[in-house]
Structure 1
Amino acid sequence: MKKFTLSLKMFFFLLLSMVFMAFAASIALDEDTAFIQKMLADHYDDTQEASLLKKYELNVTNTGFCRYKRYFSSGKVEYFSFNLKKFKDIDYLGSDKQGRLYLHTKGEDVIVQTYNDRKNGDIDSMAAYMVIPLKNMEPQDLIAISERLVKTNAQLLVQK
């Protein structure tokens, strides 16, 4: 009987531990995606295309998607999206004052959709990277974004 109760206690302890670990991973994922979202939003440079761009939306969701939508004055809309499971690495071209962040994926995993384009019409295609204009980026900011993207990628791959 003692052996049975010991086994039962161990089973409940392991079950409880697994439940806590599952919630801890979810909380860490939420924190990482919120951090990435905040950094990209805080450093977004709307002056690089100010004459062409009417507004933009930039979202990093807790389900692991990075979405970037640009609305142009002409009515044209460009939409880019990829799952952070497909994230490979980042490149930053520019200076600490102004530049472009390239989010590379493992293959052609970025969904690119164009709406209301008077020249080419509506287009659906795929790309290997997404470009986001940024300003006032210090090297430690880029390192922090890169580390969080890698961490988020690993957490999402584990959740499969």
Structure 2
Amino acid sequence: MQTSLLPKKKKAFIVAIISLSGLFFGGLRPFSTEQEWITWGNRFLNESYDPTVEPKLKKYEITLTPDHFIRLRKTYQQGKQEYYSFNVKRFTNLDYIPGTAATDTLEIKTQTDDIIYQTYEDPKGDIDSMATSWDIPVKKMTQPRVDSLRRALTFLKGKAL
């Protein structure tokens, strides 16, 4: 006679939960294609970016492109624009820096001065420079979420031409 470790009702409940998690969380398999990581990366960046740290910000657009660039364009109320961009193949590290009660910082690092920073229509004069690190204000997040972005960038770095 075979005995079960779990009663039949508990087994059925566990199977139902696992099945439903597949519907809500995209299944249990990890992302494997470039497009899945790009789609996820775009969703992550747009959900996580915290524009509230800059009250004069009129609009922003942050994008992970199919050609593996992360780009951020910010437009301020007076017309000034800031533009950041780097190719993921130059990515070396991602740090999560705790900040205020609502906002933290993601610090992206590259191999050398690989991050483009430009300003347009700046009353103080336009800037065109390069940097090795880029601080992005983000809403509070868990460490597993940060780790998943690091995995995405590392995966895409290996795919970048």
- Tell me the TM-score normalized by structure 1: 0.76
**Corresponding residue of 2:134:** 130
154, 157, 160: which is aligned to 1:153? 157
Structure 1 residues 20-44: Cα deviation after superposition (integer angstroms, max 9, x where no partner):
xxxxxxx811111111111111111
Q: Which amino acid aligns with 2:83?
A: Y
In the TM superposition, residue 74 of structure 1 has moved relative to its aligned partner by 2.1
- Structure 2 matches for 1:108-123, cutoff 5 A? 108-119=113-124, 121-123=125-127
Q: Which amino acid aligns with 2:70?
A: C
**Counterpart of 1:47 in 2: which secondary structure?**
helix
Structure 1 residues 133-160: Cα deviation after superposition (integer angstroms, max 9, x where no partner):
110311110010011111110121xxx3
Give the 4+ runs in structure 1 shifted more than 6 A: none
Q: Do the aligned partners of 1:110 and 1:127 also contact (CA within 8 Å) in 2? A: yes
Q: Which amino acid aligns with 1:118?
A: P
| Larger relative helix fraction | 1
> Quick one: distance in 2 between partners of 1:155 and 1:140?
23
99, 108, 111: which is aligned to 1:103? 108
Percent identical residues? 36
> Quick one: distance in 1 between partners of 2:94 and 2:127?
26
Q: Do the aligned partners of 1:106 and 1:128 also contact (CA within 8 Å) in 2? A: yes
**Corresponding residue of 1:33:** 38
> Quick one: distance in 2 between partners of 1:81 and 1:87?
12
> Quick one: distance in 2 between partners of 1:137 and 1:28?
25
In the TM superposition, residue 130 of structure 1 has moved relative to its aligned partner by 2.0
Instruction: Let me know the Cα RMSD of the aligned residues.
Output: 1.5
> Quick one: distance in 2 between partners of 1:68 and 1:131?
12
> Quick one: distance in 1 between partners of 2:59 and 2:70?
17
**Corresponding residue of 2:93:** 89
In the TM superposition, residue 132 of structure 1 has moved relative to its aligned partner by 1.4
Bigger Cα displacement from structure 2, 27-36 vs 71-80: 27-36
- Tell me the TM-score normalized by structure 2: 0.75
